A and B are shown apart, each in its own frame.
Chain A
């Protein structure tokens, strides 16, 4: 409760700073919070806005589902063996730290300009943390679990489903939390460059028109949505660890 109160105060301070910046930057450069919220209300009543949001939502959902399955699968595969884990770890960490935007043209050349390029780019962002967390969770799993599974004569399929997966689930959820937000970032960056629809495109177009309230309204909406999704996964994470 107290931390919620603290967070509310922080949000209030941020709003005041925003209003202050609005007043400091002479007219129309930076819209005020109120103007942004009013514009957001207008946008939310606009059918075209919902069409673009649906486009982003579809790409995001596909990227999340595919990167979750691929990430966990690859993580389990690499984590089953100590050597493959040790070989893959630095490669994955380096891929994670790479500015993946540089590779976006390659994705565009392979998948064309449609939605599949943005899905692929979202997967590139979201899959790596999931793979890393899953792999490390398996490598650091208590050896007694694996031995018990062997003693009970479980098949590899049974042991991965009934022993390994429940044991690593908390780490996997942490990885998924990172992966989901990075998927969104990947899809949005993809839309900001060379796309004809989606919320990233809406923002770029609004910027070209000099329509700052729309830019801020969409950015704010996405930031709040991302924070809500993250909070939900965090709550799930905590509930599971207890």
Chain B
């Protein structure tokens, strides 16, 4: 690990230790925050008792479906827009401002359309995640070096082999940045929707524990979500950085 990595680990460990100390000394009341060691113990209990496995599976399945849908559809839409300059000129300014729209306000609309359940949640997560994939696809297809296209033409490659053997590998680093963002937004969309209004899933379990003043369980579940999201995002980020490094070579 790099020197910065060690310092980072130290900083995080110090923050956790400080919180533990503040809780144990009673500076922070147990009704507000419980000590990190108690959070970890609660997390172990949750996983061992199997009480929330159904919620965990539902949330992760929604995230996976939303991520796959937004990556697939986002790539498709991006490719179509890219091939059609007139549409692109009209849509691109809107894409740049899209993130400003508070997407969650439309969640009730999807509940009316799909009912309270996974479908509405997946829809809102896709709405949140798809645009980063579309933008990444546009950037990726723009950045395919001209020399590669010319080479492909010189070698008389067909459209299919040109797309698979030249286009995809050249655009991959940019596309993967879109994948990384889409997964992160899928997590945010699914957990937030479950939290606001739903009957199942990890976000719902946290809201339920909060409403019942069950701090121990609430913090255990929070720790679980933070750990899962951090592991997934860090993993994708590592791959992303390797691909970006390949770009600079």
Q: Point out residues on A near B: beta carbons under 8 Å.
A: 2-3, 5-7, 9-10, 25, 29-30, 83, 86-87, 90-91, 93-94, 97-106, 108-110, 177-178, 180-181, 184-185, 188-189, 192-193, 200, 203-204, 206-207, 212, 215-216, 218-219, 222-223, 226-227, 229-231, 234
Contact = CB atoms under 8 A, between A and B. Distances in A.
B188 interface: yes
A83 B233 contact: no
B102 A184 contact: yes
Interface residues of B, number: 54
Nearest to B105: A219
A87 B8 contact: yes
Interface string B178-195: 000000100110111001
B109 to A, nearest CB: 6
Given A94-B230, A226-B101, A189 B196 contact: yes
Interface string B156-180: 0000000000000000000000000
B32 to A, nearest CB: 5
Given A203-B105, A222-B105, A230 B97 contact: yes
Q: Which of B99, B111, B218 has the most A CB atoms < 10 Å from its CB? A: B99
15 contacts: A2-B89, A5-B90, A83-B7, A97-B184, A97-B188, A99-B192, A102-B191, A102-B222, A105-B206, A109-B31, A109-B215, A184-B100, A219-B106, A223-B105, A230-B97
Contact of B109 (A7, A30, A188, A229): A30
A219 B109 contact: yes
Contacts of B94: 7, 10
Given A87-B7, A204-B108, A29 B113 contact: yes
A9 B90 contact: yes
Interface string B1-45: 001100110011000000000000000000111000000000000
Given A98-B229, A102-B226, A192-B196, A226 B191 contact: no
A229 B104 contact: no
A229 B100 contact: yes
B124 to A, nearest CB: 12
Contacts of A189: 104, 192, 196
Contact of A102 (B7, B184, B203): B203
B100 A222 contact: no
Interface of B: 3-4, 7-8, 11-12, 31-33, 86, 89-91, 93-94, 96-97, 99-106, 108-109, 111-113, 184, 187-188, 190-192, 195-197, 203, 206-207, 210, 215, 218, 221-222, 225-226, 229-230, 233-234, 237
Given A29-B113, A93-B233, A98-B230, 12 more contacts: A83-B4, A94-B230, A97-B187, A98-B188, A105-B222, A109-B33, A110-B32, A110-B33, A192-B197, A203-B105, A216-B109, A219-B108
A193 B196 contact: yes
A102 B105 contact: no
A7 B230 contact: no
Given A105-B218, A230-B100, A7 B90 contact: yes
A100 B7 CA distance: 25
Contact of A215 (B86, B103, B108, B221): B108
Contacts of B207: 105, 193
Contact of B89 (A6, A104, A184, A206): A6
A212 B93 contact: no
Contact of A207 (B108, B229, B237): B108
Contacts of B230: 94, 98
B7 to A, nearest CB: 5
A178 B99 contact: yes
Contacts of A30: 109, 112-113
Contact of A25 (B113, B184, B221): B113
A42 to B, nearest CB: 18
A223 B221 CA distance: 32
A203 B108 contact: yes
A87 B103 CA distance: 32
